[in-house]
Structure 1
Amino acid sequence: MEQDDSSVMRKYFLILPAILFLIIFFVLPLTFVITQSIYQPDKGWSVDSYSKFFTQKVSRNAYTRSLTIGLLVTAVSLLTGYPAAMAISNIKNDSLKGLLMTLIVFPLMTNSVARTFSWLAVLGREGLVNNLLAALGILDNPVRLLYTPGAVFFGLLQLFLPLMIISLVSALENLPKEVPLAAKSLGANGYNLFFRIYLPLTSEGIVSGCTLVFTGCITAYVTPAVLGGSRVLMLSTLLYQKASVTLDWNMATVIAVIMFLTTLLINYISRKLSNLGVSK
């Protein structure tokens, strides 16, 4: 009995540094930000700042745009990343699989600023796309591709698609190989195999990938600032304006809390949807 107690104590001792790190560098700062968003020295405790955020057209449009683009990027990442992850996980050659994973991870090792600025050479008025369309005779004059929601969408998709693929590959690699084989031996066709075996058993990877991609989209600053500019205002760029330009720290903390709560809500919804898939 004493030996069991000592082993349990050792386990708790090993996780103590991680718990302290999270408390000091995550829980306490988050508590401070939430407190700052609902407390004003002249008014005391109040949620008027949240009401002000949603009544202002600029803030409301920035929130709607961020939510829409984030969900679109997450959905497209899932739809394109799942087939890619399945193809990679089914490769028998370890060298080829390692090469493909390296190519997928390689963009993550490139600075996000450099990756974003490279889109200027692609989407600019004298960029690759406009020059190609002009050479094909499709366009007579260059069109504005930068500083549009589409530019922000493609920039964020290129930035966070690898995170989705990595999460899905990990989930598919952990799927027992005997399960799909057993389903096939019992007469399962491709439709049933995918929707009743692969999707439910890789739901955790889907949830993790969706959470990572959506969180990255709604909190990214460089990509919306460079590719969207002031024309496509996102929550992250609005937060920067409130904190660094107008020095409205109260509204900046409100935006930060709304971003955090939105990511929690999306994670909760995705987990509920994944549980529905498992229950079927």
Structure 2
Amino acid sequence: MTFRARSWLLLLPALVLIVVFFLAPVIALLLESFHVDGVWGVGAFVRFFQDDLNREVYARTLRIATFATLLSAALCYPAAQAIVRLPGRYKGLMTAIIILPLMVNPIARTYAWLVLLGRTGLVNSVIVGLHLSPEPLRLLYTEGAVFVGLLQLMMPLMLTSLVSALENLPADVVPAARSLGASAWQVFWRVTLPLTREGLVIGGTLVFTGCVTAYVTAALLGGPRVLLLETLLYQKVNVGSDYVGASVIAVILIVTTLLANQLLRVAGRARGQA
């Protein structure tokens, strides 16, 4: 048996696993969304986007996911830089603190926001106590509540990606740029950002994908008033028994996340070549 044949035999279990548990469900999903009532075509997708509610839900999902990704990057870059500069033992402690929220069930983390943002919660108590409003505000079941919940849920993914990328940054590039007269902003924009763009791409993809697929947070904090694609998909299956519509939403989610990843990669390459 040749070396190449033995290599393929070694890869066969992994290939079978990928085909059976990953490719086959996706292919079945695609077939169901493009083959409706015995007819092949994109009619199901056309009908989906012809509905005003569906377009509104899709736009809201993109808006919240995009803003959460951008804000998490803006907040996590300085935090990651501060963590990387810490001494060894403190860096390990901070890393553990970052990872700790990922070990907590998302349902528990989301219920904490229900307590904080409720009419008698801490946030409304502070607002009324400071006389910023004569009565408690409706903070739950709004886009703002969903945005805050998703941001808090996904930010550790961005932070860990950026910390990993910054740890691999050559130690002498920043002092070299400073010695050539570059300001702090120039060092970040022209040195740090291009050299850590892969971490930003990975973190951005994880945050964006998480935001458009996190059903529990969107359902608990948004309720029936603020629908996202993931909650609309749930309604299609469990309320309307519309499996074709659910498969269409699932395909849209897959395509959207793939496009977001490609856009981040293109932007990262453009920043690296600038």
Secondary structure class of the residue paired with 2:262: helix
Give CA deviations for 1:225-248 in whole Å, capped at 9, x if unaligned: 000001001000000011111110
1:23 and 2:19 matched: yes
Q: CA deviation at 1:208?
A: 0.3
CA RMSD of aligned residues (A): 1.7
Q: CA deviation at 1:143?
A: 1.1
24, 28, 38: which one aligns with 1:32: 28
Secondary structure class of the residue paired with 1:113: helix
Q: Tell me the number of residue pairs that the alignment of Structure 1 and Structure 2 aligns.
A: 274
**TM-score, with length taken from structure 2:** 0.95
Q: Distance in 2 between matches of 1:168 and 1:58?
A: 37
Secondary structure class of the residue paired with 2:83: helix
Structure 2 counterpart of 1:134: 128
39, 64, 71: which one aligns with 1:69: 64
Structure 1 counterpart of 2:102: 108
Q: Distance in 1 between matches of 2:224 and 2:207?
A: 23
Structure 1 unaligned runs (5+)? none
Structure 2 counterpart of 1:53: 48
- One-letter code of the match for 2:261? N
Identity across aligned pairs (percent)? 49
Structure 2 counterpart of 1:204: 198
Matches within 5 A, 1:112-261: 112-261=106-255
Indicate the larger mover: 81-90 or 17-26.
Answer: 17-26
Q: CA deviation at 1:22?
A: 2.1
1:96 and 2:90 matched: yes
Structure 2 counterpart of 1:80: 75
Structure 2 unaligned runs (5+)? none
- One-letter code of the match for 1:204? E
Give CA deviations for 1:110-168 in whole Å, capped at 9, x if unaligned: 00001101111100011111111112222221110000000000000010000000000
Structure 2 counterpart of 1:276: 270
